[in-house]
Amino acid sequence: MAKALIGYMHSDLRTPHHLTAENARLRARVQELEKLVLSLKSENDGLVAAHTELLETSIQEMQPA
């Protein structure tokens, strides 16, 4: 059974060049997604800070003078 699986895996018709190109494409996509995650985290941090500031301002206005 193991020999059959190994033989199947090695019978892949793609050449190493295609694998290298696919690997490079996937690495580029990962980098793109990592940049997107950092951008979204930054945007989220800004929104949380703005929300916190708005909430604190609202609480201060609700307290009796």
The answer to whether residue 7 is domain-embedded is no
Quick one: pLDDT band at residue 63, thresholds 50, 70, 90? confident
Q: What is the pLDDT of residue 1?
A: 58
- Domain residues for the domain of 44 are 33-64
Number of domains in the chain: 1
Q: What is the pLDDT of residue 15?
A: 67
Q: What is the pLDDT of residue 7?
A: 60
pTM of the model: 0.62
Cβ-count burial of 14 within 10 angstroms (0-12 exposed, 13-18 middle, 19+ buried)? exposed
What is the DSSP secondary-structure string of 19-56? HHHHHHHHHHHHHHHHHHHHHHHHHHHHHHHHHHHHHH
The answer to whether residue 26 is domain-embedded is no
> What would the two tokens of residue 34 be?
């990592």
The answer to whether residue 55 is domain-embedded is yes
Q: What is the pLDDT of residues 10-61, one digit of tens each?
A: 555 656 888 889 999 999 999 999 999 999 999 999 999 999 999 988 888 8
